[in-house]
Structure formats: structure tokens, C-alpha cells
A = this chain, B = another copy of it.
Amino acid sequence: MLSKKSQYAFKALAYLATKYNQGPVLISEIAKKKKIPLKFLENILLELKKADILDSKKGKGGGYFLNKSPEKVKMATVIRLINGPIAMLPCVSLYFYERCKNCDEKHCGLHDMMLEVRDATLNIVENRTLKDLIV
């Protein structure tokens, strides 16, 4: 399951995507329009900024805005950043890989199955972007 934080992140990003190239948007505006707790949203946006997905401007007329066009931000990137691994097991994760203890990956049915699930999922989230969030 995606955490609430991830859902908030996607709502905020979708909102910013609709405002792309229209200047900075206030955290408070996003929080109000998307009904996200303000201070919680602050943390999320900051994290997205540190990952170079967003940029910000301080002072009057400031706010947050997308650092690149919506179709350049992959869903997979955001999920990994805010939610963590996409795979169902560490031993089949690309970005959060960990070897299985007491289990030979070459002869593990669970491993093989979860690898399939991972690929099926990646096939979607690696090929969708923030642009697809705007309906």
C-alpha cells in the first residue's frame, strides 16, 4: 500500500503539474485545495525539492513549482522516493536490493514469482509520469 504521505505527494504534484510554467504556488494554497495538513505538506515538498523534482522561491511571490515538465517526472521515481521499494521482496528490488538469508535465489519459487510481479508493476510506473495524473 502507498502511504498517506505518498498519496499527499501525488496530489500535490498533480496540482503543481496543472500549474506548470505559471510561477510559484504557495504551500498553503496546495494544502487548502488538496486538503493536506500544512506542516506535513511542507516536509513532503521539501523532500521533493531535495530530490530535484521541485524547486522553490522564498519571500513574497514565492512558493513551489515543478523543476521540469510533468512528462519528465516518472511515477516510479516519486514512489521510490516517498514510499520506498516498489518490489514485494528485497531480493527482487532494483533500488533497494538485499540478498535473501537462508534462501538460494537461483532456486526459489517465491523469488521468481515476485520478480514477475515487480516487472509487471515497473512496466507501468516506469512509463507513466505526472502528466498522466492530469485527467
- Say whether A108 contacts B135, CB under 8 Å: yes
Does the CB pair B133–A125 fall under 8 Å? no
Are B110 and A121 in contact (CB-based, < 8 A)? Answer: no
Q: In chain B, what residue has the closest Cβ to A120?
A: B120
Q: Mark A7-30, 1 if CB is under 8 A from B, else 0.
A: 100110010000000000000000
Which residues from B are CB-within-8-Å of A112?
135
Closest to A132 in B: B109
Q: Are B133 and A84 in contact (CB under 8 A)?
A: no
Residues of A within 8 A of B (CB): 1-2, 7, 10-11, 14, 34-35, 75, 84-85, 87-90, 101-103, 107-110, 112-114, 116-117, 120-121, 123-125, 128, 132-135
Instruction: Please give me the 7 A-B residue pairs with the lowest Cβ-Cβ distance, nearest first.
Output: A109-B133, A120-B120, A35-B102, A2-B88, A107-B135, A109-B135, A117-B124
